[in-house]
Amino acid sequence: MKRKLLDQLLADRAAQRTVVVATHLASGDQRLIHPGDNDPLAAEAALAIQSDKPRTVETADGDVFLNVFNPPLRMIIVGAVHIAQALAPMAAMTGYDVTIVDPRQAWATPERFPDIRIMDAWPDEALAELKPDHRTAIVTLTHDPKLDDPALQAALASDAFYIGSLGSRGTHAKRIQRLETAGFDESNHSRIHGPVGLNIGAKSPAEIAVSIMGQVTAALRGAAA
């Protein structure tokens, strides 16, 4: 790999741009393919980008390996609470670009969340700005309807691959009622994992974070959970 190509790859990564590295395996010749580029392998690169899976393409000149560099998965955590303090670094370690959303400035402090991006906006405003997509997980942890409900409504209007909401069965049932009053039906709100997390008997905030991270992973990888 040429240093110039590596630098461009690192620049694309920093700017959160999708890029494919095409490598001719016999010679080692390489080039970058960006979405929309006029490249002979543009269609194959688009398939690799969409599936987020590298692939090897046979060409007249020999095999070309297409390695996909999509921007990172994202997790938006609503509620700068104790569980979030465990979940945010866990998600970061798992490869997610994490944002904590909480308008209560006493909670959302850099001291409580070192190295994690914090937005002190209201959840509906924050989600409008963050534009969650099919590579985004959204977890609400405040169990305060004033904060969780607008976040969940925005989440349900998005393609987020995972939506989870902390709260007991009773809390969740009331939440569902409020969402139905707001016009969401079961085909929408059944996307919400509630009570949040896998049933592993989690008690402490860190254990609950593990159960959430496990459920998010299962949703991402298409495993039943």
The DSSP output letter for 113 is S
Largest CA distance in the chain: 63
Which CB atom, from 67 or from 188, has the smaller least distance to another protein?
67
Q: Shortest distance, CB of residue 26 to another protein, whole angstroms?
A: 8
Strands laid side by side in the 30-33 sheet: 30-33, 19-24, 62-69, 55-59
Q: Shortest distance, CB of residue 113 to another protein, whole angstroms?
A: 16
Q: Which residues bind another protein (CB under 8 A)?
A: 1-3, 6-7, 9-10, 13, 23, 25, 27-28, 53-56, 65, 67-73, 92-93, 95
The SS3 call for residue 19 is strand
Q: Shortest distance, CB of residue 28 to another protein, whole angstroms?
A: 3
The SS3 call for residue 153 is helix
The SS3 call for residue 181 is helix
Q: Shortest distance, CB of residue 78 to another protein, whole angstroms?
A: 22
Which CB atom, from 69 or from 184, has the smaller least distance to another protein?
69
The SS3 call for residue 112 is coil
Which CB atom, from 3 or from 203, has the smaller least distance to another protein?
3
Which CB atom, from 65 or from 122, has the smaller least distance to another protein?
65
Alpha helices in 35-132 (DSSP H): 42-51, 82-93, 123-130
